[in-house]
Amino acid sequence: MLLSALLFTPFALTGFILVPVYWKPKLFWNLMVGVEDVIFCFITGGIGWLVSTYGVQHRLMLPGKIRPLIKRYIKYIIFGSISWAIFLFVGFGYLWSTLACLYTLGFMLLITQRCLWPLALWGAAAFLGFYALILKIMFVSWPHFIQQWNLPSLFGLVFGLPVEELIWALGFGFTWPLFMAYVFDVQVRRDAFPVDRPA
C-alpha cells in the first residue's frame, strides 16, 4: 500500500494541465503543483490499492522480495504519455485525453494479465464507491466546495457529483491495481481464478 502510494505521487506533477480547463482549485501556495496535489496522489495511490485488493487479496501472491520493477513502471508511463498526446492531437481535449489514456492503459494491462480480471472489476467497483462516498460527504459538509470545479465545463452531475469525477474514479480503480500488479509482478494462486494464466 505504501509503495503504491509512493508510485502514484509523481502524477501530482500532471495536475496543472487540467487548470483551469476542468477545475480551478484554491491552493495553499500559488505554485504550479500544489502541496494538495501531492497529498491527494499519495493518499489515492495507497487507498486505491487497498480497496481494490481487499476482496481478492487471499488469491494474490507477491514475490518473496517486494520491490517495484522500475523498467515496467517507466515503460507504461512512456506509453501513457504518448497515448495522451495522441488523444490530445486528435481533439479529445485535456480532460478527455486523460480519461481515454487511463482506460487505454487499463485494457492494455488487462490483455496481458487476463487472470487478474477479478482484481480489475472489483477495483473499479470498490474504488468508485469509496471515492463517490467521500466526495459526496465533502459536498454535503462544504456545499461551496463544488465551486472548485469549472462548472460550465462539466458534462453534468450525477447525485450531485461531477460525471467526470465518477468516470475517472471508475477508470482509476480499474487501471491502477492492474498497473501495480504488473509493476510488482503479482501472481495469482493456482486455481484461484478459472481462467488462463497471463500471456
Domain ranges of the chain: 2-188
Q: For strands 157-158 and 187-188, give the pairing.
A: unpaired
CA 190, CA 53: separation in Å to the nearest integer? 17
Contacts of 3 (CB under 8 A, 6+ apart): 66, 68, 184
Q: Which residues on neighbouring strands pair with residue 162, listed in sequence order?
A: 157
Q: Which residues on neighbouring strands pair with residue 161, listed in sequence order?
A: 158
What is the value of pTM for the model shown?
Answer: 0.89
pLDDT by 10s per residue, the chain, length 199? 999 999 999 999 998 888 888 988 877 777 677 888 899 999 999 999 999 998 787 888 877 777 888 999 999 999 999 999 999 999 999 999 999 999 999 999 999 999 899 999 999 999 999 999 999 999 999 999 998 998 888 889 999 999 999 999 999 999 999 999 999 998 887 655 444 444 4
